[in-house]
Amino acid sequence: MVTPLRKNHYLSAAIVMAVCFVVSNVCMAKTDYEFYKGSQYPGATLRPGVELQKVVTPGGGAAEYGRREVEFWPRKGVDSVKIEKGMPLRTWKLSDGTSLKAHLIGFRGVGYTIDEEPFKTEVAPAVVLRLGDGRKRSFQPGSFSQEDKDFIIKLFKGEMKRIRDASDKTEYAIREENHKEFPNNAKPGEPGTMQVVSDHFVWVSGSESGSDGDPWVSAKDPKKSDLYRAKAVAWAEAMWSLYEYSGLLMPYWDADTQIKYAITVAGTKRDGYKVIPGYAGGGRGGCINKGASNGILGHEWGHGLRINSVLVGGGESGADTCASFVNARPKGGNHLRRPSRNIFNGFNGYGYTSFYSVIGDNPNWGYGWFCAMPLGREENSMMHTIARVLEQRGMAENGIVGVGDMVGEYAARLATFDCEMETEFRKQWHCPARNWLECVDERQNKWQIPADFAPEPFGMNFVRLVPEKGARG
């Protein structure tokens, strides 16, 4: 379920780009090393030391066929990262018993800590390491020994303090409708309704358990529910900080009053008799969330973003991309199943996230680029938006052709999962679906893709070629 945006939220692309640039650079004034810098959308500027694609053969015009050659690999800053002051060099002990000597580039996705007893909790984000050959690769915190996790947490806590110290301090209010519908009139376990409030969020719910498995309010284990709620608050606020730091214009940034994002906890029982129905659904300003799941929040939050209103590349695709951004994992793999189809062929359906994830490895885009990129007033697909931004930021002379070059690079990287989240992709998929060829002329050794699998616009084919013995390239 998607709640439409207000019409007065539609600003001109030029204004939005300027504001995004300011927001994304709020935390860049300090000279200290930034471990979350990879998440930022850079705004109008390009990252120094990050090479662009190089056009070797320009190809033909829009109405003609012509071979176009573009060099995308290897590029400095993308495929080979230089060692910077502030990158710790460490021998990491992996959970499989092996070790790896690598520099820590930064963090990816949400992590959080709770220092107060009895809820003390430490959850590290994913980390991005610079391998010995200069490549970047992402590792989940479970990949490391406890000693390494402690090292990560120490740096992470310092990074989050730096980010939050420089963040916007505007106070957010609870919407009056939330007070009326869910007055905070009962404690957990008593008949009524209750609110759990943080700086930017409010969870409204029944104050009794709606079932034996209700994690938000448990009749069997109240202390466990107390911890669950504390973790939900910490995770949500960490998510907020990550989005703000990435350059996203946060909800209600342009309103007279800043409103807390409201999470209605489905599955809880209110007023002693009524279980709140629903499972998941979100829009600008709030969501329905069964059990106050962080996984659901990571997705439903995305439905409230202005850019997610586009007809192609938004909707469920965009919301899943938001979930992938905060969890630092691929989400869904529909385009891996059917790569010959358009990269968003599900018409904003679930699971079309791999294009955003792979392209976001480029520091000139950043992991949060989909969320933070400015949407123009009349643009109804991500291709239109990307084409405009490519030209405005000087990344391509012709934005439409530049989009094709981006998709070409994405296809080439997808073939071997040549991306930061390579391991996570391989855990879910051995490889993208491969195509077989049908013979056109055996004597001349000519083959073609069957018509049913001919690539759509922004689609691609993967064909495994096995060289004959003694063959030379």
Nearest to 369 by CA among 321, 299, 441: 321
Q: What's the pLDDT score for residue 12?
A: 31
Give the type of residue at 229.
R
Q: What's the pLDDT score for residue 417?
A: 96
Q: What is the CA radius of gyration of the chain?
A: 24
Please answer whether residues 294 and 232 qualify as being in contact, where contact means their C-beta atoms are separated by less than 8 angstroms: yes
Which of residues 252 and 105 earns the better pLDDT score?
A: 105
Peptide bond into 455 cis (omega under 30): no
Q: What's the pLDDT score for residue 232?
A: 98
The percent of residues in the chain predicted with pLDDT above 90, rounded, is 82
Q: What's the pLDDT score for residue 14?
A: 35
* Strand 112-114, strand 121-123: pairing: antiparallel
Structure tokens that stand for 353 in this block: 């996230």
Q: What is the tens place of the pLDDT at every residue in 314-332? A: 999 999 999 999 999 999 8
Q: What's the pLDDT score for residue 259?
A: 96
Please answer whether residues 251 and 6 qualify as being in contact, where contact means their C-beta atoms are separated by less than 8 angstroms: no
**Chain position carrying tokens 């915190």:** 141
Confidence check: pLDDT of 18 > 50: no
Q: 156 phi and psi, to 5 degrees?
A: -60, -45
* Mean pLDDT of all residues belonging to the chain: 90
The percent of residues in the chain predicted with pLDDT above 70, rounded, is 93
Q: What is the tens place of the pLDDT at every residue in 98-143? A: 999 999 999 999 999 999 999 999 999 999 999 999 999 999 999 9
First-residue to last-residue Cα distance in the chain: 52
Q: What's the pLDDT score for residue 17?
A: 35
Buried b (16+ CB within 10 A) or exposed e, 202-212: bbbbbbbbbee
Q: What is the mean pLDDT of residues 397-422?
A: 96
Contacts within 8 Å (CB) and 24+ apart, 297-304 = 297/235, 297/236, 297/239, 297/263, 298/110, 298/239, 298/322, 298/323, 298/326, 298/327, 299/323, 301/239, 301/261, 302/371, 303/1, 303/2, 303/3, 304/3, 304/5, 304/251, 304/261
Q: What is the tens place of the pLDDT at every residue in 330-388? A: 998 889 999 999 998 877 789 999 999 999 999 999 999 999 999 998 898 999 999 99
